[in-house]
Structure 1
Amino acid sequence: MTPPDNLLPSKDVTLLMGVHNGAAFLPEQLGSISEQSYPHWHVIFSDDGSTDDTPSVLKTFAAKHPGQVVVKAGPELGFSANFMQLIRDLPDDANHVGFADQDDIWMPDKLARGMAALQDSGEIPTLYAARRWYWRPETDQRHPSPLIERSCCFRNALIENVASGNAILLNPAAARLAREAAQLTDRVFAHDWWLYLLITGAGGQVIFDNGPPCLLYRQHEANVIGAGHSLAQQAKRKLAVLRGAFSDRLQSNILALDQARGLLTEENRQILDEFSAARGAPFMPRLTGLRRIGPFRQTVLGNIGFWGAATLGRI
């Protein structure tokens, strides 16, 4: 249960939002942010070269919320690079940091729930994540994202991301860690998966909120990474795994972690190195090495899929 806002400490939350040609969706999302029951927020937007009315929408929002909005120019290298630049540019004394996508709609208590969960995290780098509604606005069809019932740890993060960027909040210790790591890191596949790997790899903790979904995650054709629930979408993803897409993502994650490996614990550096070696090994050493490391996904079907890909050498 979320405590009333007046019982929570008045700590600011810096929201980072990468935007690009989002004028069709931004008004609803910005309205949901402005209506949060936790009012101590400000937003830093990074506009990645929008050619629609996005700048005008952001200007109007800034005028309505003086002192709470900053708009910057993005690197124009894609959504992940845009968010990574926002993380690099955080101040040394960053407080709580959250992430927002341009096309979602937040539940009114989203920030309050996250801040309540993080209030006793202290100096342990802590990432908060939560469930979402997969939302089809044309029919208002909603499906909740699954419960997370297994540990959120480095061995899980190696092969699966359960911390979706639009639901992430970082405590100050995690925000400082992310800023330091981002300044050492060139590029990543996805900033949210990288954050999950980094926080767990550095010995931090993850608080996953299995309560009601905290936002409407809009599903549409322009999603960079969508939910992919239909049979056609699932078949497309499995075909992509066979063509090497999953392997490419794992390799990108490994390279990014290597750039900031000094921030990982000694145990997790060893796990990362063993995982990297196992991926490139012949059939039996590959499976033996992976079993020794013990990477896992949250569901039985997810684990079957991973070990099938591992057996076929597609990791």
Structure 2
Amino acid sequence: MDRPDPLPQASSMQVTILLASYRGAAFIGAQLDSIAAQTHRNWRLIVSDDGSDDGTRGIVSDFAARRPAGQVELICGPRRGATQNFLHLLSAAPEGIVAFCDQDDVWFPDKLARAVAALSLQDGPAHYAARTVITDASLTPVAQSRHFRRPLGFRNALVQAIMAGNTSVFNAEAAAILRRCVGPAQVLGIESHDWWAYQVTAGTGAVLIHDARPALFYRQHARSEMGRNDTVRAMSQRIGLLLAGDYGGWLAVNHAALDAVRSELLPGNRAILDRFGAALHRAGPAAALSMARGRLYRQTRAGTAALYAAALLGRLRHRGPRRPIR
């Protein structure tokens, strides 16, 4: 028997949008307007502002005043950077579907509708993300973000962030898992909320959906928190960071945050996590062998080769960079 069309059910589902803001006055108005223009009307917005002094809070307050009472809420962030601000938002979110939102993007009108329709087909936890259209500061399109060909999963999530936070939407079951796991991530100071979310959802067996259709304009400007990762230069820089030993400490923090919630992981993924942890405490062939036994991989052959070379050279035992390697 065929399953019913998910769209009528999906249209009634409320989505809580979690927007982390900081000195975003130049662009946040366009993002808020794109949220208001969503074809999926059943949403609420929580903005956590991290101490802006440029008018951001006023723009959000004005937007809230034009919306139905209670639809938009402005709260104070922890003032510890973007990742901690998103984790703070997640811990404050109510039960139900949640969507991460960057302050300087512009969503396509059907962004939420497509995500909710895809999630409504799933019976258990599910994590949706999508491609983006990369633009310049004036929203002139430059290119589409990368389309990943290799499977999504925990073996990839441990070593690569590919479920972009600015497109990520989690159904109620996945959001509940993230809330249960968020404490150690906050205390340990992980560097990337979207990478962590991919690791947790993959590790707990959630369905992972990566939409090949772009969902938003991903604005690149001088203050962008995250740069594009699709050019030869960008990919070469990330491989260089692997070989330079810049992110071993970062991997160790990610491992510790996952290990603290290992009871949430599938049994097989706990074993993979342990092999990964062993690799981070070893050097030379022993480290590479632990990685190989876990069958860890990145989305390109060159990236995977660089990962194993870094393990063989003992680079994964070093401290990491200040940006996630995608």
Residue pair 2:133, 2:142 contacting (<8 A) in 1 also: yes
Query: Cα offset for 1:89?
Result: 1.6
SS in 1 for 2:287: helix
Residue pair 2:276, 2:294 contacting (<8 A) in 1 also: yes
CA separation of 1:180/1:280 partners in 2, compared to 1, >3 Å: closer, same or farther? Answer: same
Q: Does 1:84 align with 2:87?
A: yes
2: CA distance, partners of 1:241 / 1:137: 29
TM-score, normalized by length of structure 2? 0.89
1: CA distance, partners of 2:165 / 2:224: 13
Q: Which deviates further from its counterpart, 161-170 or 222-231?
A: 222-231
CA separation of 1:177/1:61 partners in 2, compared to 1, >3 Å: closer, same or farther? Answer: same
2: CA distance, partners of 1:90 / 1:29: 20
CA separation of 1:274/1:180 partners in 2, compared to 1, >3 Å: closer, same or farther? Answer: same
Residue pair 1:5, 1:38 contacting (<8 A) in 2 also: no
SS in 1 for 2:205: coil
SS in 2 for 1:71: strand
Q: Does 1:53 align with 2:55?
A: yes
Q: Does 1:199 align with 2:184?
A: no
Q: Does 1:155 align with 2:190?
A: no
Map of 1:276-291 to 2, 5 A cutoff?
Answer: 276-291=277-292
Residue by residue over 1:263-304, the C-alpha shift from the partner in whole angstroms, topping out at 9 and shown as x without a partner, is 112221121111111222231112222111100112223223
Query: Cα offset for 1:260?
Result: 1.5
Residue by residue over 1:234-280, the C-alpha shift from the partner in whole angstroms, topping out at 9 and shown as x without a partner, is 55544443443322221121111122222112221121111111222
Residue pair 2:275, 2:293 contacting (<8 A) in 1 also: no
1: CA distance, partners of 2:7 / 2:62: 27
Residue pair 1:95, 1:172 contacting (<8 A) in 2 also: yes
Residue pair 1:5, 1:37 contacting (<8 A) in 2 also: no
CA separation of 1:232/1:305 partners in 2, compared to 1, >3 Å: closer, same or farther? Answer: same
SS in 1 for 2:315: coil
Map of 1:188-267 to 2, 5 A cutoff?
Answer: 188-210=190-212, 212-229=213-230, 233-234=234-235, 236-267=237-268
Unpaired runs of at least 5, structure 1:
none
Q: Which deviates further from its counterpart, 18-27 or 292-301?
A: 292-301
1: CA distance, partners of 2:266 / 2:81: 30
RMSD value, Cα: 2.0
SS in 1 for 2:122: coil
1: CA distance, partners of 2:131 / 2:25: 26
Residue pair 2:135, 2:217 contacting (<8 A) in 1 also: yes
Unpaired runs of at least 5, structure 2:
317-326
The code of the aligned residue for 2:104 comes to D
TM-score, normalized by length of structure 1? 0.92
SS in 2 for 1:44: strand
2: CA distance, partners of 1:86 / 1:77: 13
Q: Which deviates further from its counterpart, 237-246 or 186-195?
A: 237-246
Residue by residue over 1:21-64, the C-alpha shift from the partner in whole angstroms, topping out at 9 and shown as x without a partner, is 00001011111111111111111000001011001100111011
Equivalent residue for 2:73, pick from 49, 70, 74: 70
SS in 2 for 1:37: coil
Q: Which deviates further from its counterpart, 259-268 or 67-76?
A: 259-268
SS in 2 for 1:134: strand
Partner of 1:23: 25
Residue pair 1:126, 1:206 contacting (<8 A) in 2 also: yes
The code of the aligned residue for 2:161 comes to N
2: CA distance, partners of 1:36 / 1:139: 18
Map of 1:119-158 to 2, 5 A cutoff?
Answer: 119-122=120-123, 124-138=124-138, 140-158=140-158
Query: Cα offset for 1:137?
Result: 3.2
1: CA distance, partners of 2:74 / 2:139: 33
Residue pair 1:136, 1:142 contacting (<8 A) in 2 also: yes
The code of the aligned residue for 2:38 comes to Q
Partner of 2:323: none
CA separation of 1:7/1:284 partners in 2, compared to 1, >3 Å: closer, same or farther? Answer: closer
Partner of 1:96: 97
2: CA distance, partners of 1:208 / 1:237: 22
The code of the aligned residue for 2:81 comes to G
Q: Which runs of 4+ in 1 moved over 6 A?
A: none
Matched positions, count: 309
Residue pair 2:6, 2:121 contacting (<8 A) in 1 also: no
- Give identity over the alignment, percent: 37
1: CA distance, partners of 2:135 / 2:261: 36
